[in-house]
A and B are shown apart, each in its own frame.
Chain A
């Protein structure tokens, strides 16, 4: 039976794909390149993403999406190529995000715990959620992302006393355009992870409102990222943001409500961690779904050992956290961008060929 998710769940899933992993360390590299005007990056990228959404949807029927990731059907070479690219994309994002989360826990929360123990404990939680299916992932995400949204919207009020608007000076001018486009290049591949929704577009009920839901999710994700980025610049300043590994964590550490309420960072991390866990659980689900196409049966019987393979790979592929950061900042900017553009182009081509096939089948039956 096909699992169904509502439009609200799609909105928060798309917003989660954009925000939860980007918020860890992406602001560091964006601010390093774009300096005090880096907060304009989400505003520059937003129209491009809207265009991508309109290109993806166009005039479509539900069956086109349903058949795209259908398990057990014989697809054309193009469709197989598209699924393989999507599989590669999911694999790389999964490895990167899992290691990012483990590194964050290791350096901020549990510095004396070995990496492999953190990986095993994380995997056990994540695989339990992922094996429960898409509906459970969407429901868990619906609860936790709602809380994260609330906290992110409250952040400006909590940090108003720490803000220094002088950190935004000098204001954007023509000479900054090049730096802004460069930092947009860096941010594109991270924020472009919203394309993960392509896997579940056939599961949305009702499909007609799916485009609206994806647009709303993208808007929400971009808006929350803009808030975090803007307040990192005006509260911490560009120097601290570029030199800190986790600027978002330092930002929430600046919240001092009263003398006895100054450790809100742990509370906020406790809200943020479940959202990235849900994203990784979705990535496990997507990985298993793509793999199911190769062994032609929709099952999660193999997910348990596969999750350990992926967990160990996230440790083995990066010798230390610096290598992981190099991968995230240097490799992923270009590799992610290329993969996302190829997925987008192939999706449009596959969709058109599916439409043609459908029309020719209709003519034959008439």
Chain B
């Protein structure tokens, strides 16, 4: 596990504790907090496993990038 991921998890844990203890979120906002925390942990795990999401950028390269290549020879 890299030091970066450990730091991020620690920072997120402190954030969650502060948010919960200080009671600055209501019931409606709680689901959003859980969602963003889960997403942040998920992307940090992906980064730790070197699982890149470059399929998205490759797709954009094949679509919009092709339009550019039609106009300009790069």
Contact = CB atoms under 8 A, between A and B. Distances in A.
Interface string B42-74: 011011000111101100110011011101111
Given A33-B72, A114-B4, A326-B61, A306 B36 contact: yes
A302 interface: yes
A312 B57 contact: no
Interface residues of B, number: 41
Contacts of B25: 301
A346 to B, nearest CB: 19
Contacts of B17: none
Given A301-B24, A308-B44, A331 B57 contact: yes
Contact of A323 (B3, B46, B57, B64): B57
A58 interface: no
Contacts of B24: 301
Contacts of B64: 330-331, 334-335, 338
Contact of A305 (B39, B57, B67): B39
Contacts of A331: 57, 60-61, 64-65, 68
B39 to A, nearest CB: 5
A150 B17 CA distance: 45
A183 B68 CA distance: 11
B65 A312 contact: no
Interface in A52-90: none
A120 B7 contact: yes
Contact of B74 (A114, A301, A317, A329): A329
A33 B46 CA distance: 37
Interface string B1-31: 0111101100110010001000011001100
Interface residues of A, number: 39
A29 B74 CA distance: 8
A301 B33 contact: yes
A109 B67 CA distance: 35
A308 B24 CA distance: 21
A302 B36 contact: yes
A344 interface: no
Interface in A269-327: 295, 297, 299, 301-302, 304-306, 308-309, 312-313, 315-319, 323, 326-327
Interface in A175-208: 182-183, 185-186
A151 interface: no
Nearest to B33: A302
Contacts of B67: 334
Contacts of B19: 301
Given A301-B24, A305-B40, A333-B68, A316 B47 contact: yes
A359 interface: no
A120 B53 CA distance: 19
Nearest to B29: A301
A261 interface: no
A312 B46 contact: yes
Contacts of B36: 302, 305-306, 309
Contact of A308 (B2, B29, B40): B40
Contacts of B3: 117
Interface of A: 29, 32-33, 114, 116-117, 119-120, 182-183, 185-186, 295, 297, 299, 301-302, 304-306, 308-309, 312-313, 315-319, 323, 326-327, 329-331, 333-335, 338
Given A186-B68, A316-B54, 10 more contacts: A114-B2, A297-B29, A301-B33, A302-B29, A309-B40, A317-B57, A330-B69, A334-B64, A334-B65, A334-B71
Minimum-distance CB pairs A-B, first 5: A116-B4, A330-B65, A312-B43, A334-B67, A335-B64
6 contacts: A301-B33, A309-B43, A313-B53, A316-B46, A319-B54, A326-B61
